Amino acid sequence: MARRRSRPELLRGLLSGRLPPGLSTALSISEVDKEWSSIVGTVLGRKSRPVSLDRGTLVVACESPGVAKMISMKAGTVASSVEKRWHLGVKSVRAVVARIEAKREIPEPEPARVIPSERSVKACLNYTSDKIDREDVAEALARLMATYMKRFPKKEE
């Protein structure tokens, strides 16, 4: 049976018709938030953040009244830019003064490297060397066994 070749699709396109409207809007607002600095500029981008979409009005949280005034002055440009890029039905922008939490960067966890002790490798080598004739294979298997035992210790019940 021949496999049908198709072009890869964006996950957003696949999920758009299957998500509840509220969740779809929240995902869209998060996309706008990621690109917010490119829409309003870096200074205003650090001091404001889009938080919701309410009946065609993009609600923007601002850290001070001055920032809210600047966002209000740019409201037409911001609304048209957001509408052009994301097609969310944004007709206006409302700036509100609110606390802005700094964006947190979540670091990638480093994989834990498991290095067994030489004592456990020797104990495993005593076990494997009796069963395997080739010394290099027995040692490699002993290292693997010691690593496995350190990574997945037996749970005492």
Residues of the chain with pLDDT under 50: none
- Residue 12, token pair as written in the block: 């957003």
Fold of 19-97: GMP Synthetase; Chain A, domain 3 (3.30.300)
The widest CA-to-CA distance across the chain, in whole angstroms, is: 81
pLDDT score at 73: 96
Domains of the chain by residue range: 19-97, 118-151
Q: What is the pLDDT of residues 68-104, one digit of tens each?
A: 999 999 999 999 999 999 888 999 999 999 998 877 7
pLDDT score at 94: 97
Q: What predicted TM-score, i.e. pTM, was given to this entire model? A: 0.57
pLDDT score at 100: 87
Query: C-alpha angle 56/32/79, rounded to 5°?
Result: 40
